Amino acid sequence: MIVAGTVLALVALALVLPAGFDSVRGLNLRAADEWRARLPALATRAALALSLDTARLLFRALTVVGWVAYGVVAWCVFRGARFGRRWTWPVAVPLALLVAVAMPAVLSTDVFAYVGYARLAVVHGLNPHVHTQVELVRLGDPTAPYLRWPIASPYGPLWTWLSVAVVRVAPSGAVIGAAIAFKVIAALGLLGVAAGARLLVNRAEPGRAHATFVLVALNPLLLIEGPGSGHNDVAMMALVVAALVAHAAARPRVAALLVGGAAAVKLVPLVMVPWLAVIAARAAGPRWPSRLAAAGLTTALGLAPLVVTYAPFWEGPRTLAGLQQRWNAGDATPVAASPSPSGTAAGPATTTRPADASGWRRVLGALSHAWPALLVFLWATAVVVMGQGDPALRLATVFGVLSLAIMIFVAGMWFPWYLAWTWPLALLRFTRAHLVLSGFLLPFSLMLMLAYALPPG
């Protein structure tokens, strides 16, 4: 309960952060202002009474206590501790939903970018995979004060369609309500990840299944970056874990479709498609025509969600401009700042850097430094081809390690929510290797989250 308590204390702290609280990552205190405007005056008075130094100290202390407590729980589970069913849904559902609704998205503006890109399509009739956040500022869209990056949408087209659906049902001009809807989606995604993880572990070690659910659902990073900030990485991982569950249930075609769906949220799971094709080919028997047909069908199913959902947005290579800029060593030019109500820079984009051939050369240059991730991919492929045991858990392990390598060597920026790609998969097995992986993720997560309290400059 210490872990849940510290997460809820961080939620409360996010509501009362004083004006001027900023970090090297850049915060979004306008969101705290908006959330406080919907709460009694007590939160506003608390924000006025809290000093910057005290707020930073509290954030650091709560983050450290939460992660130390989580580390103790994880160590006990790896040593054989069990949890009963009463610690699963009765604890996880209220906690995830409370964090989603109560915590303002102060740590990132991404959830407002989801709303903005959807409004480009729904309200302004523009292609969010071609037009940038600058267009929202020019049009005076209500999301403009929250925007930071002058790029087109770097997210997958399936996520764009989901965003469009959320904005269509939201009241006209609503921003905060739509943002909360995305945070609730992240909460449901986290619960889905926990449920899928329990199903996978129950196949091999039934006694640890409930404990795995607890480790996933109460992970401080997954809670704060998922329901707390609304990042779509948790939704992506819900589809990845669902694919692993389908694969374990001997439904490889469904697994391929789900992996494709995850890649249509964010492209990272696309690396799993070749592995699924190899597994399908091996299961097709000794005849090469059958193997090639199985591999081809699996590949087609894995790519289908991406192709189908991209088709209505497709305007040639420039449709991928947002992806190019985001993965261009993480160096997209920030927007020009304008004062927010809290006095921090949240401001609107006034210029943009168009994608061009030199940009693609920079992408290739960045990838030239990513050879460690390529080596990990080759290792992962060898494990998939030659490994023994449960193929679903084997896929989970290699994708977890590879996604961590992609974050470190390819992504260009070490955003803490990228660790959501690895954390759930590191908790699916209880071997020494998984203990080492979790032991690395814990201080890494702590370090990245402590950066939120590190003042700029």
pLDDT of residue 387: 77
- The model's pLDDT over 239-259, given as tens digits with 9 standing for 90+, comes to 999 999 999 999 999 999 999
By mean pLDDT, which of 9-13, 151-155, 163-167, 168-172 is the weakest?
Answer: 168-172
Closest Cα partner for 224 from 399, 423, 426? 423
pLDDT digit string, tens, across residues 115-153? 999 999 999 999 999 999 999 999 999 999 999 888 999
- 3-state class (DSSP) for residue 336: coil
Can you tell me the mean pLDDT for 442-456? 95
Q: Give me the pLDDT at residue 324, please.
A: 79
CB under 8 A, 24+ apart: contacts of 173-181: 173/142, 175/112, 175/115, 175/142, 175/143, 175/146, 176/34, 176/35, 176/38, 178/115, 178/118, 179/31, 179/105, 179/111, 179/112, 179/114, 179/115, 179/230, 180/100, 180/101
pLDDT of residue 377: 94
DSSP state of 304: H
pLDDT range class, residue 41, cuts 50, 70, 90: low
Mean pLDDT of the chain: 88
pLDDT digits (tens, 9 = 90+) for 71-125: 999 999 998 888 988 888 999 999 999 999 999 999 999 999 999 999 999 999 9
Residue 108 phi/psi, 5-degree rounding, is -160, 155
| pTM exceeds 0.85, yes or no | yes
315 phi and psi angles, rounded to 5 deg: -135, 45
* Residue 37 pLDDT: 82
Residue pLDDT, tens place only, 384-423? 988 777 889 999 999 999 999 999 988 878 999 999 999 9
- Beta bridge partners, 339, equal 345
* Mean pLDDT confidence for 301-328: 90
For 345-375, how does the pLDDT look when each residue is reduced to its tens digit (9 = 90+)? 344 444 444 444 455 555 555 556 778 899 9
**What pLDDT is attached to residue 85?**
86
Q: What is the pLDDT of residue 390?
A: 85
Query: What's the pLDDT at 50?
Result: 83
